[in-house]
């Protein structure tokens, strides 16, 4: 039996920074409202790089830092809800860009839980002995599905990418346990990117397109999603703690999906811990969906906050509805 060790942490975000003040000029909102309701001060918005470009930068950084060549990579997983194309997968475009000619590459769509889901899938391939390593990336250009006239949502999201290199080990480290769930019955609570049916045999084609137009844009029932997150996330984390027979005090950091500061405050309270147990950087990036956890991890690595033996909990939650937590050691 093998375990997945996390060898490297990298991120790449577009250079273009958009402040709350800049959004005040676009929609009827205020910097104060955005900051107090969400904790977000600024976000990155792409000026041309698509999801595959961001993911490619992350993978090239991971390869460079690990001193491994692209052709040695066995698996490339890209978690995204904003792929360049419906086909091929973003992962295959990345495979081509980096020259990982021996890898298997595919995308995973689990929205804001995507990175945790992708780690889970990669871990199965490694645990089984099928593959010796994997590039696991979360990459999003949410700006292309955000309705820039909707002040309720456009202030929340940003673009970016982050990822890790997993490698097989026989030591008892790396990905230790996971808890992942889906509740498809609530899929309507958070959705976007709808592609309407079009074919010459359809009646009422124009009406059909019109009815569905609004579903292209990212839209959510904020209250429903907020309630879902504050209920499921604490119990998912608690399950991992119980399984490992440890308490929240034994965890160095909880790295949550960076959705909203207020959600994390409630989660902290329910776990009988304080907000400083959580690594948060949503003030600088907003909500980058599947990219938010790996961007946070890369920043923690950069700041020298990740030390050998530290126990870390990752927790993602979002559209699907999906949620998932993972206990890892560095
Ligand atoms: C998970 C969550 C959210 C989310 C939900 C609600 C919300 C983000 C509602 C109240 C509003 C401020 C914003 Cl929990 C989004 C995703 C998608 O990644 C995943 N913000 N808010 C207010 O009026 O205070």
Express each pLDDT in 133-163 by its tens digit: 999 999 999 999 999 999 999 999 999 999 9
| Ligand 1 within 6 A of CB of 127 | no
pLDDT(204) > 90: no
- The pLDDT assigned to 205 comes to 72
pLDDT for 206-253, tens place per residue? Answer: 766 666 667 999 999 999 999 999 999 999 999 999 999 999 999 999
Q: Is 219 a catalytic residue?
A: no
Ligand 1 center to residue 101 CA distance, Å? 40
Is the link from the previous residue into 88 a cis peptide, with omega within 30 of 0? yes
Question: Of 113, 145, 151, 225, which is best to mutate to test ligand 1, by the most ligand atoms within 8 angstroms of its C-beta?
Answer: 225
Average pLDDT (119-124) is: 98
| Ligand 1 within 6 A of CB of 289 | yes
Nearest CA residue ID for atom 17, ligand 1: 318
> Rounded to whole angstroms, what are the CA distances from 40 to 43, 146, 148, 223?
8, 16, 17, 18
Nearest CA residue ID for atom 2, ligand 1: 259
| Ligand 1 within 6 A of CB of 260 | yes
* N-terminal to C-terminal alpha carbon distance within the chain: 19
d(CA 225, CA 118): 22
Residue 14: CA atoms inside 13 Å, Cβ hemisphere, count?
Answer: 24
d(CA 154, CA 147): 6
Ligand 1 center to residue 295 CA distance, Å? 19
Residue 174, φ and ψ in degrees, nearest 5? 85, -130
Q: Are 322 and 178 in contact, with CB atoms under 8 Å apart?
A: no
Among candidates 146, 154, 147, 142, which has minimal Cα distance to 29?
A: 154
Report the 10 Å Cβ neighbour count for 158.
Answer: 30
């Amino acid at each position: 039996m093998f375990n997945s060790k996390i060898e490297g942490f990298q991120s790449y975000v577009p250079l273009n920074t958009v402040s709350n003040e800049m959004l005040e000029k676009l929609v009827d909102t205020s910097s104060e409202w955005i900051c107090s309701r969400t904790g977000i001060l600024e976000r990155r918005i792409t000026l041309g790089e698509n999801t595959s470009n961001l993911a490619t930068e992350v993978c090239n950084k991971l390869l460079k830092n690990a001193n491994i060549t692209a052709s040695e990579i066995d698996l490339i997983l890209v978690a995204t809800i904003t792929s360049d194309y419906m086909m091929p997968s973003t992962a295959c475009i990345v495979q081509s860009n980096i020259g990982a000619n021996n890898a298997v590459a595919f995308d995973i769509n689990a929205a804001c839980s995507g990175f945790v889901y992708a780690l889970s899938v990669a871990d199965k391939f490694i645990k089984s002995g099928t593959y010796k390593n994997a590039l696991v990336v979360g990459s999003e250009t949410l700006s292309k599905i955000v309705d820039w006239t909707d002040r309720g949502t456009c202030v929340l999201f940003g673009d970016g990418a982050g990822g890790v290199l997993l490698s097989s080990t026989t030591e008892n480290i790396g990905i230790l346990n996971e808890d992942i769930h889906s509740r498809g019955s609530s899929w309507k609570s958070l959705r976007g990117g709808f592609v309407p049916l079009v074919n010459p045999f359809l009646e009422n084609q124009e009406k059909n397109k019109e009815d569905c137009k609004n579903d292209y844009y990212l839209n959510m029932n904020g209250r429903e999603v907020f309630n879902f997150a504050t209920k499921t996330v604490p119990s998912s984390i608690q399950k991992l703690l119980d399984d490992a027979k440890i308490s929240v005090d034994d965890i160095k950091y909880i790295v949550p999906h960076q959705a909203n500061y207020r959600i994390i405050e409630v989660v902290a309270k329910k776990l009988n811990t304080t907000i400083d147990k959580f690594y948060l950087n949503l003030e600088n990036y907003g909500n980058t969906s599947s990219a938010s956890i790996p961007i946070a991890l890369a920043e923690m690595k950069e700041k020298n906050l990740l030390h050998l033996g530290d126990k870390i909990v990752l927790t993602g939650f979002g559209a699907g509805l999906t949620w998932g937590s993972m206990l890892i050691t560095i």
